[in-house]
Amino acid sequence: MRSCEQIIDSIQLGETVQFEKTVTEADVYMFAGITGDFAPVHVNEEYMKRTRFEGRIAHGVLILGLASTASSQFAARANIPGVSAGYDRVRFLGPVRFGDTIRIDYTLRRKDAERARLYCEVKGINQRNESVLSAEHVIKVIPNGNDSRLT
């Protein structure tokens, strides 16, 4: 089994994956049902028509969830055993409307072998090339369940 250091050394800074998805009305309503967040901004078209958004918008956390897919793809491609240690500096930069296609660019920016962590930049961009999401994701590398650095 590879050590944390071997795993981290095997990955190059700048490695990137992209994930793309069109956000549908069904996605937003299923997310609302799971989370219980039925705020008017997500489910009341008539209310939202009277706002600067001119219609319903997706939950920011739903869009952040797309970063989780990119993270999983990144880890699988690079053969990284790990768990999410969280997202830092999350910013929702613009509204995501029903029917928008969001591309997540997920890029390794920093490695910390001592703490067994990888730090990845997350960018969400819509089909109009507008930024809608920015964050940093931290992956905790865990080569086996006995690693004392899990915490």
pLDDT grade, residue 2 (50/70/90)? confident
The mean per-residue pLDDT over the stretch 130-139 comes to: 98
- CATH C-level class of 4-23+59-144: alpha beta
Which burial class, exposed, middle or buried, applies to 148 when counting CB atoms under 10 A from its CB (0-12, 13-18, 19+)?
Answer: exposed
Rounded distance, CA 10 to CA 71, Å? Answer: 17
Task: Give residue 3's pLDDT.
Answer: 81
Query: Can you say whether the dihedral through the CA atoms of 122, 25, 45, 43 is positive or negative?
Result: negative
The mean per-residue pLDDT over the stretch 75-83 comes to: 90
Helices 60-78/25-35 angle, 10° precision: 100
Q: Say yes or no to pLDDT of 146 above 60.
A: no
Tokens 């990955």 belong to which residue?
Answer: 11
Spans of all domains in the chain: 4-23+59-144
Lowest mean pLDDT among 12-16, 68-72, 79-83, 89-93: 79-83
